[in-house]
Structure 1
Amino acid sequence: MQTPDRYRLSFARGGTGDGADEVVVERTASVGPGGNPVYCDPTGILRAEISRAGEVRMLASGGYQTPRPPSAEPLPRGGSPEGD
């Protein structure tokens, strides 16, 4: 199985029941502490190590962060995040 270049991460909104916040991350040249690729959003703030099995480990990019793990959906190469 080839490692996806992009993922859509979905974060459940804290107790509101109003769905989820989503962000697209792209693979970087970095490898996380578990040996898996690190993915990053365009701002560089949101960083996640994602295994081939889709397990997500959020990586703090600054002090005082305690990110919750999201769900991850691999995206096709190229095109828009909606799969166009």
Structure 2
Amino acid sequence: MGQAKDYELVFGGADRPGSAGEDLVVVHRSDRTGPGGHPVYVDDTGIVQAEISDRSEVRMIASGGHQQLPAAVQARPVD
């Protein structure tokens, strides 16, 4: 079974003071692989980039300088 073509990245608000709920970003599979050898998924802007394993483990990838990458991100396949 292959990986999904698209995922929702779920950024929880609990780790950010003054925010609640979830922030969602849809990412699409690119032709690149990340440092772990898994596909890299990118949002429509190209700013949000993540390597997602076949077990839905997420490794965020910096797309520019001075980015602070979130530690806890979940990936949900999009139908």
User: Deviations 1:27-79 (Å, cap 9, x if unpaired)?
Assistant: 00000000000000000000000000000000000001121141110111xxx
- Segments of 5+ residues of structure 1 without an aligned counterpart are 77-84
Identity %: 47
Q: 1:16 & 1:9 partners in 2: Cα distance? A: 21
Q: 2:62 & 2:12 partners in 1: Cα distance? A: 18
Greater than 4 Å deviation, 4+ residue runs: none
Residues 1:18 and 2:20 are matched in the alignment:
yes
TM-score by length of 2: 0.90
Deviation at 1:16, TM superposition (A): 3.5
What secondary structure is seen at the aligned counterpart in 2 of 1:18? coil
Residues 1:52 and 2:71 are matched in the alignment:
no
Alignment correspondent of 1:73:
76
Q: 1:54 & 1:15 partners in 2: Cα distance? A: 27
Over aligned residues, Cα RMSD in angstroms?
Answer: 1.1
Alignment correspondent of 1:29:
31
Residues 1:63 and 2:79 are matched in the alignment:
no
Alignment correspondent of 1:39:
41
* Residue type at the aligned position of 2:63: S
Between Structure 1 and Structure 2, how many residues are aligned? 76
